[in-house]
Structure 1
Amino acid sequence: MTCDLEVDVNGEEIFLVDKEVLSSFSGKLRELTSKSLATSATRNLRVTLHGLPGGAEAFELMTRFCYSNGRTRMSPSNICLLHCIAHFMEMTGDLLSLTKKSLQGIPYWSWPEIMSCLKQCQDLIPVASSSGMLDKVICSLVGRITAVSDASPSGSSPESSAFRFSCDTGSTTSAKNSSNHRGAWWFDELVVLNPDMIEEIIRKMAVEKANHVVIGRFLMHYLKNGGVRSAAADKKKAAAVIIDLLYSLDGSSVSCKSLFGLLRVSSPLKLSKCCQTKLESMIGNQFDQATLDNLLIPARSGMNNLYDVNLILRFLRSFLRSGGRDSANRLKQAGSLMDSYLAEVAPDSSLKPLKFLALITALPDEARDCHDTIYRAIDLYLEVQVANLTPKNMQCFTLHFFISFFCSSWNQVHAQISDEEKMKICGAINYEKLSSESCKRIARNTKFPSRTAVRALISQQTKLRSLLEETDQSRKPGHDPDRDDDDDEQIILYAKKLDLTREHEKLKSELQGMQWKVMELEKMCRKMQRQMSKAIKTRRAGSSGSRSLPRLCS
């Protein structure tokens, strides 16, 4: 036996082998040596193998097979390696036939043997996949999982003792934690696999009609204990695979709480737009099951807002698209949640008026039976957004205080919310759904535009008129007269509570007084502007380098 061939395996190691012996088994080596003979001027030939699955270890197994005249010991621990190298080296004869025959015994392998072979397969992709080896092992694994309905799989396999050893004693602590749920015995076994392998397994389980709730629970377990504990690139890959798999399952396969947990983990990883959209869609579909703490997601860096309100708006759009509008209970639950959220974000002074309005109007009107909470949120928002210059403050302004405020806060006032924006925000209130108490507060609230107060009063007048008409109709023939006294008492109490005429006159008087004061202050502002302009011109024309304030502002 001569060593007349040098084989460079993946740049890792060089083997000196007998060309004739190895070429008789490998079609790939025959082709490579034929090309080398045509170009080589020396007796010793040299060939290079690139991308050999299994590297030097696999090549050594192949040479032993060839030198032993096609005999080798196969086991679940090396069959995957032998099968892949047989394909790669085009060993269409004995070795490939032997591996295929050995794979027929997979149904009789123990659980540890299946896992050992699977771990080896994940290092040999894509050859293991293209050769069909991976599919056979995964089918066996999935069949073993889906066939077992108990928390312990000990009775499901011909190798029951091996199953019991693997699942009952392999990790006592983790088994107690992960096997609390029926069918979760395999969770800790699979967390050692990479995301690509997990994807292959889960997709096969879905084809085999495995329980989607169990699959969803496993994916969240893998998120916590498996693929996201490694390098940043692997974390990103694992999160993307998990999101993609969850998206392919039934909508109720994973809880809303778990999805928000996935959102927290994946947000720093900068996933693709498609992946983000899938996760947001899943959360939006279950928006009515979220909690306020779930929604208070800090804004990303570079955003002025305290919270990511754009994300919440996307959730709501997904919720409505998924049929949230079709269920009255779900819609009202979402409305209640959004009312709480509005109260939390309203104090954010950097929240733009149109964005705040978008949050208020994101859900249809039927999502709320009462708009009192919306009124309170708007009141809080205006309290923050409107500068210190409000009609209420104007009543107590002295000339000196106003001039000082004007000089120090001119730019700030101009940056605040406009009357038009206030009208748009207040226009989101359904006055028919306001309590009488809230209507009275609006009428007296100087932060709200005067037209808003009038609309609130008109709404209450309409309610009273409707109540009177209903009472009048109830007194027609056929109505029970015993209820008349009760109806009269309700109307009297309601009218006293509103006291519409007095409130309207009081409001009218207050508005006229505020309008006069605003006009006076506007005149004063124009006068001060002229004086400040003159002072600036005088200072520029003067020879002195010192700076001075206008007399009115000193």
Structure 2
Amino acid sequence: MDVCCDVEVDVNGEGIFMVDKKVLSSFSGRLRQLFGKSVSNGSNLKVIFHDFPGGAEIFELVARFCYNNGSIEISPTTLSFLHSAAYFMEMRKSASGTENLIEQTEKSLEEISYWTWADLLLALKQNQELAVDMINTCGVVQKCLDTLVGRLALTAETSPCLSTCSPESFGFRISCDSRSTESFKTSCCRSNWWFEDLLVLNQNLVQLAIKSMVSQKFDHVTISRFLFHYQKSKFISAQIDDKCRIIEMVVNSLCSLDHLSISYKNLMGILRISLSLNTSKCSRSRLEGIIGLRMDEATLDNILIPSPQGVNYLYDVNLVLRFLKSFLSGGRLSKVSNDRITRVGHLLDSYLAEVAPDPCLRSSKFIALATALPDSSRDSYDEMYHAMDMYLEVHTDLTEEETFNICSALNYEKLSPEACVHLSKNIKFPSSSTVQALLSQQTKLKSLLLDANYPNSGSSSPSTTTGAKNQKEESSQQLVLYAGKFRVMTENNNIKAHLQGMQCRVTELEKVCQKMQNQVAKMLRSKSPSHMNPKSLPRFCS
């Protein structure tokens, strides 16, 4: 065959090749089409490729395939590039009826199940620089990943040591990682023995590997541990932009896992890293959503995150509000257990106490925090009351409307008697708040007296009845104490008249209670044996 060099090929700026136009075009549909449109003026043609798969090295292999009349040796390390290059050059037909390059690479791909672990890793490592669209088109890289993950799934079902301590695997580890024999034998028997091996992959291939693991029902706990290990290992030498891409890849991969399989501590750690970097808003939002679903596992230190630059709040209140929104909406409030929502309620009250002294915190944000959870999340509102007290102590320039809106978040019926006493003397709170606290205590007393008027006969012992009566008398005394210590501003005549009416009603209730106690005592004396000493009867009042 006569061979002449009438075409100059520049491959990605890496190398220039002088080739025979007739030889290459007989195998490449792309070159046939290109040369068919060209007008030759007697000089050599020049072809420039900017994105040839594998660069100059792979083009040389493709040229050898053409010059050898469709014959070439394909190895695991060159398969992906040759397959991609064959598609790039449109090598679907061969001269003299021989197999074209696409057919030969696909035939070699069918034998991938016989590749060693080292062959798979080396093939992925050398071919991971392919463009994403090329990876998706040729499918070789994806098949390598699926085979790799299949090996991992198989070893997870049996024993890592039996499947990985093979001669070729050992040789690969020594050549690539320079590990000692003892170190390898130790790591071989761990469930995460493959973590270090997969560090050779870039973010794109790791994300594809995670998708393959999820599709093959790989253990989600192990996957999440690998992702965090990958992030920490890669961060050691990564630049800022690379760190952002790594974080975004890890977050996107974590979103495909069961969120309960992910360490909450690691989630909070990667959140703080994400906030310090310029990661995408979408990535941060997805991470916050996962964390918010498990808000009941958080501690106060977890959510005391400083505000971002440009915000004068001491802590990032908006972030906590987004956590709470995710907890309530994502967890479907009707399915959130009482224990979980109660834990979040206690956590939020502690957070309110921490942010209340911040002089820059606007009342709207404080109210948003105080009203973020439903009333069922709290058995007592004492902690919220004390947080409000601190907030009003610092923010003395609030309008009456702002103060009223803050106090509206309180459930006065869930305030303890001690908190009500403190509130009755607290001039920072509006008069309406103290009246509501007093009314709630009056309502409790009425409920107690109502129960006493309709006793559950035969179901309680004298001592139990005595304790209940003492409790009723104590509650009535507390109410009188609150009313006596409650100081009303002289200009508010309506409130003063209302309190005077309440005191009269309390006095009437005390008389009814005393009369009822006398009647119950007579009933007990009439039913007692004649030999029993009356002094031995339990006393209702002391």
SS in 2 for 1:252: helix
SS in 2 for 1:511: coil
Q: Does 1:51 align with 2:51?
A: yes
Answer yes or no: is the 8 Å Cα contact 1:285–1:318 preserved in 2.
Answer: yes
Which residue of the partner structure matches residue 166 of structure 2?
A: 160
- Please report how far the alpha carbon of residue 353 of structure 1 lies from its aligned counterpart in structure 2 after TM superposition: 1.0
State the Cα deviation string for residues 437-480 of structure 1 (Å, max 9, x = none): 11100011121112212222222222223223323433646543
Which residue of the partner structure matches residue 396 of structure 1?
A: none
SS in 2 for 1:156: helix
User: In 1, distance between residues paired with 2:235 and 2:57?
Assistant: 27
User: In 2, distance between residues paired with 1:283 and 1:180?
Assistant: 33
**CA shift in 2, pair 1:254/1:247, >3 Å:** same
Q: Does 1:136 align with 2:143?
A: yes
Q: Does 1:420 align with 2:401?
A: yes
User: In 2, distance between residues paired with 1:311 and 1:181?
Assistant: 42
User: In 2, distance between residues paired with 1:116 and 1:306?
Assistant: 50
Which residue of the partner structure matches residue 378 of structure 2?
A: 368
- Please report how far the alpha carbon of residue 52 of structure 1 lies from its aligned counterpart in structure 2 after TM superposition: 0.8
Which residue of the partner structure matches residue 506 of structure 1?
A: 485
Q: Specify every segment of 5 or more residues in structure 1 that has no aligned partner in the other structure, as ranges.
A: 387-415, 516-554
**CA shift in 2, pair 1:110/1:154, >3 Å:** farther
Letter in 2 for 1:34: G
Which residue of the partner structure matches residue 516 of structure 2?
A: none
TM-score (norm 2): 0.81
Which residue of the partner structure matches residue 315 of structure 1?
A: 323
User: In 1, distance between residues paired with 2:229 and 2:189?
Assistant: 12
User: In 2, distance between residues paired with 1:181 and 1:450?
Assistant: 71
- Please report how far the alpha carbon of residue 168 of structure 1 lies from its aligned counterpart in structure 2 after TM superposition: 9.2
Q: Superposition pairs for residues 58-207 of structure 1, below 5 Å?
A: 58-92=58-92, 93-125=99-131, 126-149=133-156, 153-156=160-163, 160-166=166-172, 170=177, 183-207=191-215
Which residue of the partner structure matches residue 28 of structure 1?
A: 30
SS in 2 for 1:142: helix
Residue number among 255, 265, 268 corresponding to 1:257 in the alignment: 265
State the Cα deviation string for residues 307-354 of structure 1 (Å, max 9, x = none): 111111111111011236331111001101111111110111111112
Answer yes or no: is the 8 Å Cα contact 2:424–2:485 preserved in 1.
Answer: no
SS in 1 for 2:357: coil
Answer yes or no: is the 8 Å Cα contact 1:175–1:188 preserved in 2.
Answer: no
Which residue of the partner structure matches residue 345 of structure 1?
A: 355
Answer yes or no: is the 8 Å Cα contact 2:210–2:223 preserved in 1.
Answer: yes
SS in 2 for 1:155: helix
Q: Specify every segment of 5 or more residues in structure 2 that has no aligned partner in the other structure, as ranges.
A: 93-98, 494-542
Answer yes or no: is the 8 Å Cα contact 2:160–2:188 preserved in 1.
Answer: no
SS in 2 for 1:185: coil
Which residue of the partner structure matches residue 18 of structure 1?
A: 20
Q: Does 1:381 align with 2:391?
A: yes
**CA shift in 2, pair 1:463/1:114, >3 Å:** same
Which residue of the partner structure matches residue 42 of structure 2?
A: 42
Answer yes or no: is the 8 Å Cα contact 1:150–1:182 preserved in 2.
Answer: no
Letter in 2 for 1:501: V
- Please report how far the alpha carbon of residue 142 of structure 1 lies from its aligned counterpart in structure 2 after TM superposition: 1.3
State the Cα deviation string for residues 404-463 of structure 1 (Å, max 9, x = none): xxxxxxxxxxxx111221111112111111111111000111211122122222222222
User: In 2, distance between residues paired with 1:477 and 1:256?
Assistant: 54
TM-score (norm 1): 0.80
SS in 1 for 2:272: helix
User: In 2, distance between residues paired with 1:464 and 1:175?
Assistant: 74
User: In 1, distance between residues paired with 2:235 and 2:32?
Assistant: 42
User: In 2, distance between residues paired with 1:114 and 1:475?
Assistant: 79
User: In 2, distance between residues paired with 1:179 and 1:466?
Assistant: 69
Which residue of the partner structure matches residue 228 of structure 2?
A: 220
Residue number among 449, 460, 464 corresponding to 1:483 in the alignment: 464
Q: Does 1:463 align with 2:444?
A: yes
Q: Does 1:9 align with 2:19?
A: no
- Please report how far the alpha carbon of residue 305 of structure 1 lies from its aligned counterpart in structure 2 after TM superposition: 0.8
User: In 1, distance between residues paired with 2:366 and 2:459?
Assistant: 51
State the Cα deviation string for residues 179-231 of structure 1 (Å, max 9, x = none): 69964222222223222111211112111121222222222222222378523
State the Cα deviation string for residues 289-314 of structure 1 (Å, max 9, x = none): 11111101111111121111111111
**CA shift in 2, pair 1:268/1:45, >3 Å:** same
Answer yes or no: is the 8 Å Cα contact 2:292–2:322 preserved in 1.
Answer: yes
Residue identity (%): 45
Q: How many residues align?
A: 479
75-84 or 195-204, larger mean C-alpha shift: 75-84
User: In 1, distance between residues paired with 2:483 and 2:489?
Assistant: 10
- Please report how far the alpha carbon of residue 130 of structure 1 lies from its aligned counterpart in structure 2 after TM superposition: 0.8
User: In 1, distance between residues paired with 2:323 and 2:434?
Assistant: 33
